Structure 1
Amino acid sequence: MTAPAALDRWGGVLMIGALAFSVPHEFTGAPIFSHLAAACAFGGLALFAPRVSRAARLFLVLGPLVLLAATITLPDWPDATLTALARGAFIAAFFTALTAIRSAAITDPGILDCGRFLAAQPPGRRYLALTLGGHLYGLVLMYGSIALLGALATENARQEPNPEIRGHRSRRMLVAVQRGFISTLPWSPLTFASAISLSVVPGATWAAALPLCAVSVALVSGIGWALDTLFKPRLSAPAPARGPAEGAWLSHLRPLYTLLALLGAAVATLHITTGVRVFGAVMAIVPLIALVWVTLQPGTRGARGATLARRAGAFATQEMPQLRSELSLLVMAAFIGTLGSALAEPLAARAGLDLTAVPTPLLLLAVFWLIPVTGQMGMNPILAVSLFGPLLPAPETLGISPALMVCTITSGWALSGATSPFTASVLLIANYGGVSPLRVGIGWNGTYALICGAALSLWILALAALA
């Protein structure tokens, strides 16, 4: 084994350690667990460093520079640093937990069958099916939903002999998958959008924000479906008639909605009975479900213990290292954003910047649009929200509920996921579509984003008026 490969393997093991220490911290609040989780998370990043992408390496270099600036300028830099380290460790642990359920899902034949069934729907309901599929798969697989359904959509489109129809079908199917995925961002407790937004808005809870965010989900999903229905591509010749996909929806989608029901019930039960926050319950429950799921898959009967040990070892030493660049970007974005916010706060105070003087509706719109706009400049939403979120006035000083602020941030996050050529969702769709990320973000989704942005802005203004 080469030295870099050995470092990767140990880096993956340390990410498991970050998760293992983060779970008891969520339940007890004991600082020692947070410190140990941070040591594992950032130790793992150090081991990953020699083989990460250029962008991830830039973040790994920028982090110590921000820390140096904080050490020089902030009197309370130790506390600010510990807060940033804890935020980064949480991201590492949360990512590891969600990757565990994705690892179990992608080897389940039933989950793959669900995806093939959705991709095989006739044109009249294919967009709606893939948007629904992108949403449901996104709840479990994160960006893996785009990888899975994107591959199946591309495979389906290639079977079309007419190149004109094939091009339109590929674009519409991939866009449907992407928009289904981003519609999870405003509300799902299994996304970084909710996790980070709730952590930077004082007094915010997931349950209180859910009704407001659900309307954002309906707007993002419904507008996409309406645009696809109203503006169908014009073909030079009539398209051939196609029959419906074989099989019943309930039977084909049973593995997916059964998993979601089990996951939701388990997380809700743990959250209600223990009082631990939803994201702590997710980190505790999801890996356990993944372990049990692996042992129940075909081919494990009679060797479940050996299969579980093999899969767990491969997850830590092979699958997690393959995500080293993504992990480095996400964790360092949280660290840099949190510590950068601590640096910016005294600068803003000395400059006389008083955001409470800005009319609340205008401030909310600025927050909403800031996320997709900075996304066009290459700023990851985790970095953007971690940076400016703590600088925002407390919701009660603005006369609004914390839920409204969370809805504003997560809605902007969803818009960035559709348009930013630097986000994983756009990059993956561009890869499957064989086009540039800019083409996907602005060309395929530009009109959609503007209409969604306008509708979401009106929704935010309406909520502000009713506050």
Structure 2
Amino acid sequence: MNREWPRRLRRLLDYALPLCMAATLVSLLFPNPLSPWIARPTLLIYLLVQWRRKSKLAKGLLLFIAALSVLISSQSDNPLPQFLAAWDRFCFFATFVSALGLLRVSAMRSRLVRHAGQVLIRQRPAWRYPTLSIGTAVFGMIINIGVIGLFGSMVQRSNSLSAAGGERRVQAVRERRMMLSILRGFALVPLLSPLGVTMAVMLSNMPSLRWHTIAPVALPTAVLMFAMGWLLDWVLRPRNLKVPPVDRRSSKPLWQFTALAAVITSAVFLCGWVLDVRLPVAVLIACPLSAFTWLSLQRRRLGGGTGARRAAMLLYRHSRLIFGANRNEVAILGGSAFLGALLVPVIDRDMLAEALLHTGLYGPWFAVAAMMAVILLAQIGLNPIVSVTLIAGLFADTHEIGLEPVVLAVALMSAWSLAMITSPFTAAMQVLEQLLQRSSYMIAWRWDGLFFWIIVPTLCVWVFVLHSFLG
């Protein structure tokens, strides 16, 4: 009996995050005083239980916000309302990350995802970049960072020495071109995905914006980045290289997955329209339901029924692994949201706007400076989640600094995209470093360095073009 109690207690602790998610969603849909007081302590329990397994960055950020909280408490007469509001933001983003994580669980168990990925890998060299890049962007909307590991491992398996005709040079060239295609495709996700963390951060910190106001500007920006990457891949393609024939497969799985991604995205928009809620809140509802439905359909193959019971049992038995896998994303994204909600109210934005005017960082110049700050800070290890949250939260109305909100939003989203694929410290680079057994510095700064130096000034000019059209 004495041994049974620790097991039961541990089992209850495994459900801390799901309970936080449910309470947060209820408080958003049906505001009441009880739900937040369920979400707040359960999130704290989750963070404490997962502490030992967190990354150094996640631990450092949580310790920093704890120290900052103590400092602000000592300077304020009544800090409790500000802390509760900031902690509620933490709960929201923890729920958001975990909702997307459930979708990733279903995707990584899907045969359709594996088959569609194989179709992307087995393309003719001339079409490999656009298919892999666009395919990674589409898959990344559903799987997020998991797409790097999935496609990266497929590239390694398909790019064997025998498949390269016994030529190690062919093998190395194919590996580099395909990995850069995947990496640059992943960079398009923050600009394209209405389901992603980037969009949630922008819409939460810039209340005047909606997805339908950002999309007409973000989508052409993504097209520009894609076109520059494809052009560079074509210009730098190896000449006089004997390429072995490619064993192509039916493209049916790829179109099926694209249709599935469209259905899930449509479900989010439909949910937002029917319930009259903002897009990030609709994601919290539609994505877990879509994930459970998808998982249930997979479980049907085991024989009979709808598969819902088997899917529920899988989530129940593996809850520790499923929700524990999000520990670092929850800590970093939620902690960044908490930090932004804590710091922004104490900053005198009128004084800051006046200072920016005197320094010349006004209008599009501020957007360019903000973009460069996010990219440069990422190179020394500061996650773009932190820098973008703080910058986006500085001005509820960017007209104070002579700038349209959507221009600043797209500049920050572009910076987030570039930071993900140029910083050696990001999750994408860490995954590729393990897969390729190469330094993340080599991948980010040598393999993709030329793309970075071309695309950054291009995007700076693009910001001024957007400002002239929208200002």
Asked if these proteins are the same fold (TM beyond 0.5), I'd say yes
- 2:292 is equivalent to residue 287 of structure 1: no
Contact 2:97–2:326 (Cα < 8 Å) also in 1? no
Matches within 5 A, 1:339-378: 339-343=342-346, 345-346=347-348, 354-357=355-358, 358-378=361-381
Contact 2:102–2:291 (Cα < 8 Å) also in 1? yes
- 2:219 maps to 214
Deviates further, 447-456 or 395-404:
395-404
Q: CA deviation at 1:397?
A: 2.3
- 2:400 is equivalent to residue 397 of structure 1: yes
- 2:171 is equivalent to residue 162 of structure 1: no
Q: Give the alignment partner of residue 184 of structure 1, picking from 181, 189, 195.
A: 189
Query: Quick one: distance in 2 between partners of 1:163 and 1:406?
Result: 44
- 2:457 is equivalent to residue 454 of structure 1: yes
* Identical amino acids, percent of aligned pairs: 24
Q: Give the alignment partner of residue 206 of structure 2, picking from 181, 198, 201.
A: 201
Query: Quick one: distance in 2 between partners of 1:32 and 1:40?
Result: 13
For residue 421 of structure 1, give the secondary structure of its aligned residue in structure 2: coil
- 1:411 maps to 414
For residue 405 of structure 1, give the secondary structure of its aligned residue in structure 2: helix
Q: CA deviation at 1:38?
A: 3.1
Deviates further, 24-33 or 375-384:
24-33
- 1:262 maps to 263
Q: Which residue identity does 1:313 align to in structure 2? A: Y
Q: Which residue identity does 1:283 align to in structure 2? A: L
For residue 339 of structure 1, give the secondary structure of its aligned residue in structure 2: helix
Q: How big is the alpha-carbon RMSD for the aligned residues of Structure 1 and Structure 2?
A: 2.6
Q: CA deviation at 1:109?
A: 0.8
Contact 1:119–1:126 (Cα < 8 Å) also in 2? yes
- 2:341 is equivalent to residue 338 of structure 1: yes
For residue 35 of structure 2, give the secondary structure of its aligned residue in structure 1: helix
Q: CA deviation at 1:393?
A: 6.3
Deviates further, 402-411 or 36-45:
36-45
Query: Quick one: distance in 2 between partners of 1:369 and 1:439?
Result: 21
Q: Which residue identity does 2:100 align to in structure 1? A: L
- 2:115 maps to 113
For residues 339-363 of structure 1, give each alpha carbon's deviation from its aligned partner in whole angstroms, at most 9, with x where no partner exists. 24445x15x8788963355321211
The 1:65/1:419 distance shift into structure 2, 3 A limit, reads: same
Q: Which residue identity does 1:436 align to in structure 2? A: S
Q: CA deviation at 1:305?
A: 4.4
Query: Quick one: distance in 2 between partners of 1:175 and 1:108?
Result: 25
The 1:406/1:351 distance shift into structure 2, 3 A limit, reads: closer
For residues 94-115 of structure 1, give each alpha carbon's deviation from its aligned partner in whole angstroms, at most 9, with x where no partner exists. 1111111111111111111000
For residue 354 of structure 1, give the secondary structure of its aligned residue in structure 2: helix
The 1:204/1:252 distance shift into structure 2, 3 A limit, reads: same
Contact 2:97–2:329 (Cα < 8 Å) also in 1? no
The 1:352/1:213 distance shift into structure 2, 3 A limit, reads: closer
Query: Quick one: distance in 2 between partners of 1:462 and 1:330?
Result: 31
- 1:246 maps to 249
Q: CA deviation at 1:3?
A: 11
The 1:302/1:177 distance shift into structure 2, 3 A limit, reads: same
TM-score by length of 1: 0.91
- Unmatched tracts of structure 2, length 5 or more: none
The 1:72/1:4 distance shift into structure 2, 3 A limit, reads: farther
Query: Quick one: distance in 2 between partners of 1:43 and 1:104?
Result: 26
The 1:372/1:305 distance shift into structure 2, 3 A limit, reads: same
Q: Which residue identity does 1:309 align to in structure 2? A: A
Q: Give the alignment partner of residue 465 of structure 1, picking from 448, 465, 468.
A: 468
For residues 229-273 of structure 1, give each alpha carbon's deviation from its aligned partner in whole angstroms, at most 9, with x where no partner exists. 1111356xx3234145121x3x12133112112112211112122
Deviates further, 75-84 or 91-100:
75-84
- Unmatched tracts of structure 1, length 5 or more: none
- 1:136 maps to 138
For residues 391-422 of structure 1, give each alpha carbon's deviation from its aligned partner in whole angstroms, at most 9, with x where no partner exists. 23622323443222211211111111111111
Q: CA deviation at 1:225?
A: 1.1
- 2:427 is equivalent to residue 424 of structure 1: yes
